[in-house]
């Protein structure tokens, strides 16, 4: 991804999901090292990453973390990698990497499957406020 600044990580998320949007705002609030950039899965940036990495978007209704150093992570692995970079005490979530991926992803998928029912859904993707605009890739 040529527009992603070196040493930054790109978080792709469901732009119409209220839970996902709240999670992105949480990450921004705790991203003291300014490591993350964001784009909805539905955006041109999201679509280009999905296409470039040959991700089946019909099967991947998930958070995706992309970094030049580590490539693509998704579902629970992406969430835990993000938490590890947010500093104490959130970085303690990394301990859950000891849980087998299939178990972590089962929990992740259960929440993802019910997220619209539990948290609601927007009609269109979140539009960042002017002060957050620099964190979002177009």
Predicted local confidence at residue 83, as pLDDT: 96
Helix 18-30 × helix 101-119 angle, to 10°: 110
In a domain, 138, yes or no: no
Would 120 be classed as within a structural domain? yes
Kindly report, residue by residue over 6-64, the tens digit of the pLDDT: 889 999 988 778 888 889 999 999 999 999 999 888 888 888 888 888 887 666 668 99
User: Which pLDDT does position 124 carry in this prediction?
Assistant: 67
Nearest to 115 by CA among 1, 13, 2, 18: 18
Inside any domain, residue 63: yes
Looking at the domain assignment, is residue 3 inside a domain? no
* 2 confidence band (pLDDT: 50, 70, 90): low
Token pair in block for residue 134: 């620099």
pTM score, two decimals? 0.88
Report the pLDDT averaged over residues 91-113.
Answer: 94
The pLDDT of residue 131 is above 90: no
Mean residue pLDDT across the chain: 87
Tell me if 109 is assigned to some domain. Answer: yes
Any domain includes 135: no
Q: Has residue 2 been placed in a domain?
A: no
pLDDT at 127 over 90: no
Range of the domain at 122: 9-129
> Distance between the two ends of the chain, CA-based, in angstroms?
12
| Residue-level pLDDT at 28 | 94
Q: How many distinct structural domains can be found in the chain?
A: 1
Query: What tokens were used for 91?
Result: 């970085």
């Amino acid at each position: 991804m040529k527009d992603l600044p070196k040493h930054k990580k790109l978080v792709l998320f469901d732009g119409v999901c209220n839970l996902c949007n709240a999670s992105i705002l949480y990450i921004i609030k705790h991203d003291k090292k300014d490591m993350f950039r964001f784009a909805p899965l539905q955006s041109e940036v999201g679509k280009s990453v999905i296409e470039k990495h040959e991700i089946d978007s019909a099967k991947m209704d998930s958070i995706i973390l992309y970094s030049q150093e580590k490539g693509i992570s998704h579902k629970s692995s992406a969430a835990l990698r993000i938490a590890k970079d947010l500093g104490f005490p959130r970085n303690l979530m990394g301990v859950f990497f000891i849980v087998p991926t299939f178990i972590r992803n089962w929990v992740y998928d259960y929440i993802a499957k019910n997220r619209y029912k539990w948290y609601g859904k927007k009609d269109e993707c979140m539009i960042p406020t002017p002060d957050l605009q620099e964190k979002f890739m177009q």
